[in-house]
Amino acid sequence: MTTTLITGGTVVTPSGAVVADVLVDGETIAAVFAPGLGPVGVDTVLDATGKYVIPGGIDVHTHMQLPFGGTFASDTFATGTRAAAFGGTTTIIDFAVQRTGEVVQDGLAAWHAKAAGESFVDYGFHMILGGVDDDALKAMDQLVADEGITSFKLFMAYPGVFYSDDGQILRAMQRARDNGALIMMHAENGIAIDVLVQQALARGETDPVFHGLTRPPALEAEATHRAIVLSGVARDCPLYFVHLSASGALEQVAAARDAGRNVFAETCPQYLYLTLEDQLGAPGFEGAKWVASPPLRSRDESHRADLWKGLRSNDLAIVSTDHCPFCMKEQKELGLGNFSKIPNGIGTVEHRVDLVYQGVVDGKLSLERWVETIATTPARMFGLYPRKGVIAPGSDADIVVYDPNGHTTIGVATHHMNMDHSAWEGYEIDGRVETVLSRGEVIVDSGGFHGAAGRGRFLRRGLSSYLV
Ligand code: DUC
Ligand code: ZN
Ligand code: ZN
């Protein structure tokens, strides 16, 4: 087996940053040594002096090739996971989909078929339930027991597509409470939003910015509150809010957490940096690049500052991307003249590690919280710890060497995602992903990309180890 010694770097974990040498033996981390005390005669020495050595990023919210809005998300498991690796993400958890009326296991099989032989990094699945009924509830048990799928996403938005009503939500929560799964919630009041959308269109308000204006933060806060109440009725079923975007929703999560509830949330880089006015409100159809749900929020309110604060206080536990890329040409363009037909999604899988690191540089987050929110908590929350998310003996050798003196300029000319634009064009990062190991193999370094499609393995996940 090949041995690698990563020497002289600062190993960052949620509990601190220390200079140490990391020995990798085959696919796993064998030992962490005080500097200079590692073995001699290893196959490869990787000098990480002056660099951070962190666990590989885990992006728990991606949508490779998602059928959505009349088209498919433009990254396949091959293009999307290759881009992820370039950006220091060595594990993704993608959302398999049960469409309304479909057998859950058939939806899952379709997702396995998409990913098999394609992925460059390890991957797991959550399951979107688009039709909660007796069969779907039974399927939840089977997926938890046999398939390594222990989290289920429900939608309070998109009536007629993925929407679940309160009765369906309650039943799924009760089932999850019994089988140990986590319920993931898209919390926006879709029934009320659809009314606002129809009213806007009737007034001739068709530009992308009206996507944001018809999905106000109050309808995210209301749905968040309702989901928390329902999960309480389901005997504190563990509840995780995806893509939380706004202050009001965060207040609901914080209140539930203060009450000791099993309520958790993630946010995404787009809500930490981008705004309704600056991006979604760009002239003409340009704003379509940033149409996502929930929408970008107003720069005139305190959302972004509150989200950073939530990350510091752990009311927000994770930063994921909600990577759901669509090209402008032939995809976003489906909504020319009608914002409600623009496919919803932004592509960020390649940039999450960098964008959250910029928060460290800007004094908004500690180094330790960076690692915790992008790698360690994702692993714990979604049943992958300690195999992933930590630099410790016995863990998979998914490791990123990050150069704080490097620099990254983001843009369509240099990114690896299958998109004809970048939502992050011109963003500058005061740091750089230098070397990426996935299960002991260097797949990215200054020499380029060395991974292979199909080397990524499906991860059967356990239950969350993050619950109170
Ligand atoms: N929710 C997601 O999580 N991803 C894509 C679209 C959506 O509404
Ligand atoms: Zn969603
Ligand atoms: Zn999503």
Ligand 1 atom, smallest distance to 61 CA: 3
Looking at residue 174, what is its pLDDT?
98
Ligand 1 atom, smallest distance to 344 CA: 6
| CA of residue 153 to ligand 3 center, whole Å | 9
Question: Is 345's C-beta closer than 6 angstroms to any atom of ligand 1?
Answer: yes
CA distance to 95, 330, 368, per residue, from 420 (Å): 23, 11, 34
Instruction: Let me know: does 230 contact 169? Beta carbons within 8 Å.
Output: yes
Residues 454-458: what's their mean pLDDT?
98
Instruction: Let me know: does 236 contact 261? Beta carbons within 8 Å.
Output: yes
**Cβ count within 10 A of residue 357:** 26
Question: Which residue out of 293, 326, 346, 349 has the highest number of ligand 1 atoms within 8 Å of its CB and is therefore the one to mutate?
Answer: 293
Question: Is 188's C-beta closer than 6 angstroms to any atom of ligand 1?
Answer: no
Q: Enter the DSSP assignment of 256.
A: H
Nearest to 288, CA basis, from 69, 1, 51: 69
Per-residue pLDDT tens over the stretch 87-132: 999 999 999 999 999 999 999 999 999 999 999 999 999 999 999 9
93 phi/psi in degrees, rounded to 5: -120, 115
| pLDDT-derived band at 1, boundaries 50, 70, 90 | confident
- Residue 21 reports pLDDT greater than 90: yes
Looking at residue 468, what is its pLDDT?
86
Residues 11-30: what's their mean pLDDT?
98
Looking at residue 410, what is its pLDDT?
98
Ligand 1 atom, smallest distance to 293 CA: 8
- Residue 227 reports pLDDT greater than 90: yes
Encoded amino acid at 457, one letter = R
CA distance to 105, 273, 433, 435, per residue, from 401 (Å): 39, 25, 6, 5
Set out the domains of the chain in order of their start, with CATH numbers. 56-381 (3.20.20.140)
Measure the CA angle with vertex 439, ends 435 and 444; round to 5°. Answer: 25
Q: Which ligand is nearest to the CA of 325?
A: 1
Question: Which residue out of 59, 266, 344, 348 has the highest number of ligand 1 atoms within 8 Å of its CB and is therefore the one to mutate?
Answer: 344
| pLDDT-derived band at 137, boundaries 50, 70, 90 | very high
How buried is 5 (Cβ within 10 angstroms: 0-12 exposed, 13-18 middle, 19+ buried)?
A: buried
Nearest to 84, CA basis, from 456, 459, 462: 456
Q: Which ligand is nearest to the CA of 344?
A: 1
- Residue 62 reports pLDDT greater than 90: yes
Instruction: Let me know: does 357 contact 417? Beta carbons within 8 Å.
Output: no
Residue whose CA is at the smallest distance from ligand 1 atom 1: 293
**Cβ count within 10 A of residue 113:** 10
Helix (H, G, I), strand (E, B) or coil at 57: strand
Predicted TM-score (pTM) of this structure: 0.98
155 phi/psi in degrees, rounded to 5: -120, 125
Question: Is 324's C-beta closer than 6 angstroms to any atom of ligand 1?
Answer: yes
Share of the chain above pLDDT 90, in %: 99
- Average model confidence (pLDDT) for the chain? 98
| CA of residue 155 to ligand 3 center, whole Å | 10
Of 447 and 294, the one with more pLDDT: 294
Residues 6+ apart with CB under 8 A from 258: none
Question: Is 63's C-beta closer than 6 angstroms to any atom of ligand 1?
Answer: yes
Nearest to 449, CA basis, from 115, 79, 124, 117: 79
Question: Which residue out of 65, 68, 162 has the highest number of ligand 1 atoms within 8 Å of its CB and is therefore the one to mutate?
Answer: 68
Looking at residue 215, what is its pLDDT?
98
Q: Which ligand is nearest to the CA of 185?
A: 2
Distance CA(354)–CA(416), nearest Å, equals 15
| CA of residue 293 to ligand 1 center, whole Å | 6
Helix (H, G, I), strand (E, B) or coil at 453: coil
Question: Is 186's C-beta closer than 6 angstroms to any atom of ligand 1?
Answer: yes
Question: Is 294's C-beta closer than 6 angstroms to any atom of ligand 1?
Answer: no
Encode burial over 239-278: b for 16+ CB neighbours within 10 A, e otherwise.
bbbbbbbbbbbbbbbbebbeeebbbbbbbbbbbbbbbbbe
Tokens of 68: 């959505």
CA distance to 115, 175, 265, per residue, from 138 (Å): 25, 9, 26
Looking at residue 447, what is its pLDDT?
85
Length of the chain: 468
**Cβ count within 10 A of residue 147:** 19
Residue whose CA is at the smallest distance from ligand 1 atom 8: 293
Residues 6+ apart with CB under 8 A from 25: 1, 2, 3, 440
Residue whose CA is at the smallest distance from ligand 1 atom 2: 322
In this structure, which residues have their CB less than 5 angstroms from ion ligand 2? 186
| CA of residue 266 to ligand 3 center, whole Å | 11
Residue whose CA is at the smallest distance from ligand 1 atom 4: 322
Distance CA(93)–CA(107), nearest Å, equals 16
Ligand 1 atom, smallest distance to 294 CA: 8
| CA of residue 92 to ligand 3 center, whole Å | 12
